[in-house]
A and B are shown apart, each in its own frame.
Chain A
């Protein structure tokens, strides 16, 4: 039973390019969360999604960032026109139930903007 799968593990983008981060939740989990960890900081909540719905995007920047969790396929975090400040580790987590706070994290995607 595979855990949360994130790819790519490492992603390098030039300033102004687009970054697409993918997350496949644990099979049977319908709740997906994205967190970002900047260097020397803790994880910061970005967005919470259920299948085909964004439930809470209060932690996601209003511009350049978007997220989706389609009926079929992985959840995607998309960052348009990346800037150096977007360089961070992006972690996806999933849970089977809304109240299951001890959700399962993936290994993360490390985005470097050069």
Chain B
């Protein structure tokens, strides 16, 4: 039962353009969402998060949007840079899941110079 899904295994964009990574969830008890970035042979690095009481959170070039009715969130990166090329994981947590995170399968972002 995949409760957090990232339907696009890969995404390729040009440097300077916007990257939009999508994530869907099925568990209505999730109330906190995070994005992690992962380079090969390294552990995931926390990027940005959003609570279910908000619909948008921005941090520099990174913005996360949450649509609770659609159970959908997205990560926008603008402008995209070659150093942003990595695997991006969406994760979710909720009151019933305690402190554990449920991760999506990841999306490989490639930013071409």
Q: Which residues of A contact B (CB under 8 A)?
A: 4, 6, 31, 33, 35, 40-45, 48, 55-56, 58-59, 91, 93, 95, 98-99, 101-108
Find B43's partner among A31, A101, A107 (CB 8 Å cutoff).
A107
A-B contact count (CB 8 A): 64
Q: Considering only CB atoms, which chain B residue lies closest to A99 in the complex? A: B99
Bound-state CA distance A106–B43 (Å) is 5
Given contacts A43-B89, A56-B100, is CB(A102)–CB(B34) below 8 Å? yes
Complex contact B46–A103 (CB within 8 A): yes
Given contacts A101-B49, A102-B34, is CB(A33)–CB(B100) below 8 Å? yes
Chain A hits for B42, CB < 8 A: 107-108
Bound-state CA distance A96–B41 (Å) is 25
Complex contact A44–B44 (CB within 8 A): no
Q: Considering only CB atoms, which chain A residue lies closest to B42 in the complex? A: A107
